[in-house]
Copies of this chain bind each other. A is one copy, B any other.
Amino acid sequence: MTKTRPKKIPAEERRNITVEAVIDLAGSSNPDSITTAAIAKHMKLTQGAIFRHFPNKDAIWKAVMSWVSKNLMARIDLAAEDITSPKGKMEAMFLAHIAFVADHPGAPRMLFGELQGARQTPAKRLAQSMMKEYAARLRDTIVSGKACGELRETLDVEAAATLFIGTIQGLVMQSLIAGDMDKMRADAPRVFAIYLHGISKAHDAGG
C-alpha cells in the first residue's frame, strides 16, 4: 500500500485539470449528478481540496463552460477561415463541430444540461451567448450562400440555420445514446450530404 501524496500543483494548472476531469466524467455520466467527490477522485485529490481552487460548484461549472465555448468556437473558426465558398465553409464548420464532440463527448452533455436547466447560472449565461454567436455566424454564411448563387434563393434562412444546428445535435444525441463516437464521425459526411442537397440550388435535373 503505497499511499503516494499528490504533487503540489500551482492553482491555475489545478483549475485546468479540474475542468478536464469534469468533461471527462461528463462523457460517461449525467453532468448533473457529477459530485465534487467524483471529480476529486478522478484527479486523485481529496474532495475538500477542490474548494481551495473554486469558491463553489457553480464556479467549476462556469469554468467548464468557458473552456467548451472557447475551444469549440476556435475549432470551427479555424476550420472555416481559409474557405471562401459558403457551402464549403458550412461543411467545414459541420465536420469540425462533429470532430470536436467526438473528441470530447462530455462537452455537448455539459452544454445541453446547462442550457436546459431552469436555474440561471453563470455557466448558463456563457452557454447562451455562445449559442447566439454560433447562430449568427451561421445565418451570415447562409445569406452569403444565397447571394453568390450556391444556395436556393427560395431558401428559408432561419429554417436552414435551425436544421444545421439541429442536424448536429441530432447526430450527437444518437451517438451519445449509442455510446459510439466513431460511428458519428463516419455518419456525419453522409448526413451532411443530404442536408446540403436540401439547401443547394439544383445543378442538373438528375435524381
Contacts and interface: CB of A to CB of B under 8 A. Distances in A.
Counting every copy of the chain, the complex holds: 2
A205 interface: yes
Contacts of A195: 163, 194, 198
Interface in A165-207: 165-171, 173-174, 176-177, 187, 190-191, 193-199, 201-202, 204-207
A30 B130 CA distance: 22
A160 interface: yes
Nearest to A159: B190
Nearest to A32: B30
A51 interface: no
A117 interface: yes
A199 B207 contact: no
B177 A116 contact: yes
Interface stretch (A35-43, A75-83, A88-96, A107-115): A107-115
A131 interface: yes
Nearest to A112: B173
A152 interface: yes
A190 B28 contact: no
Contacts of A159: 187, 190-191, 193-194
A4 interface: no
A121 to B, nearest CB: 13
A140 interface: no
Contacts of A197: 197-199
Nearest to A197: B198
10 contacts: A30-B113, A30-B116, A112-B173, A112-B177, A163-B167, A163-B195, A166-B169, A169-B169, A198-B198, A205-B205
